[in-house]
A and B are shown apart, each in its own frame.
Chain A
């Protein structure tokens, strides 16, 4: 017997069902709590679209579960979630990115960049006339253990002493304070215990804070580690202390590794300024450099600052919408539009020939294996599926280094020059042979799939058709072309189109085998003879210029999507004729 909690025992009904139901509720509650937390978290981080969709999904799921009428829909929940995560969101994100300059130097939002320029300690400076302030730290003790409850006495260069007041958060990220501010208070507001001139403790609301650390006091050096790790780093380093004149003081590392209190200024400040925009005078907030008093220039999603000589230098970039620039670049930039046709033609040939070769070879093997009188069929089938079973990452590299290496590869060393005594084939450096190599490997990788598919389709063709045909006196060839092939195509044709679309974007094979090479001479583009659109895109977006250009890559992948969709549409139209045969 399973022990049942009393409150369930007396609730009536079948106790076990109740237990399961109770567990179900708990799981649902946990799921809801976690999802709401996730949505809030995303919202906090600024992923508003994602967070709203998350909320909508949670509401939908709960609605499906609690509402009796929509009960059947709950079986669709997993599908809806997966559809959203794996299909819709990536598509929406790609489209959104295609209109931005998201990439190296532009990975934060404008708001984040402005926040950082205004508050990050990196963008503060110590002015030339700055004075250094001394400080003394007092902590409360729990028995003999120091705690992180502290008071700070700030000593001005004149020797006046003040106490730091309460810390107010100015900038918070994910529940943590990034920047805080505190005022100075008169020292007389507190009860002080003195030993001569020296303050040894502060009494405040029943708590006694004892003198603990000061950077120049050798006697307290032993407490430096505790001060830094429990008070200095987590709290004080993020606080700016404002004195009565409005000067800002903050903890900064000094040359000897101690934290010193220095008067600082922010390098950038917000200011209202009148600018001309679209022929109208608009008042806009701009960032102003505190040293030069010049406003920052915003151009192409980047803040630029001017140094004393008036020279422009980038400060920080942000993600900005660039309209259709990424798309127009595809057609106007000669490095892209120049080799485009060449690459497109080869891309088309590559995909078409890959499908043709894999299908012909796969079908031939399938026909042989489909013969019932063949002995050891399952053994052959297993062996023939091996190319499919080995990860392409491994087998392509074996082909590249083991077979096609021009000096040491098996083909050149043992067959071409060894057996036939011919000059070695320039597999990787001659454009024609490089294309041959790419096709050989792709055929090798792809035929087991076609074989498996064809084998299944062949087995679904009823034997009676063949019997009837042989009674009518049809030859083997006639039987294949009139019965097998048309019936096969009805099932296989859509798969061939799918295979074409897959090979059209078969990046792995090209990238691992030739990386698109050999280079095409007399051009100044990174295009190579075996580059297909997707590998060329990769080169342009991730291996050229400044490294990563997600916006441009998204634009090209959208274009490639339309190309593949167009070709597939035409193919479906053509292959539709095969289905007529079936009717």
Chain B
């Protein structure tokens, strides 16, 4: 397996940004799919986990921006807070993968993913409360929007993202994290 070069990381980031547009379109037939299943979050997490924090950060900013520019989804009013949330997901997932080394790929992935999910949701709430919806945002609104409504999306993320990363490793499309231990 070739190592991850800067060029390969850049192209993977580009593909993840394109998937931020394509995946929500696939879910579009389901009403409120965006807020329930959060399909746009998946490529951002995967980009951060595989390519590192700068690429994850870029994917988190450019993904929703491109999708909003091309389809109007997410709407302009939701775009800034969503960009903050996704940028934190991508950056924290990448940072955690750099910092955490438990010698088990699954453990590393889950620790990074859960930390990123928590940080992203908390910071998105803080950004809404202090900047984007100042005065009209409450703790109850945060719990309803980021925890209750999106719990199916969180389950999908926790079940699917490590699985996708492993499938990519098995297909030799990305290098294994601990080659000697896993071979």
The answer to whether A and B come from one shared complex is no
Contacts from A to B (Cβ < 8 Å): none
Contacts from B to A (Cβ < 8 Å): none
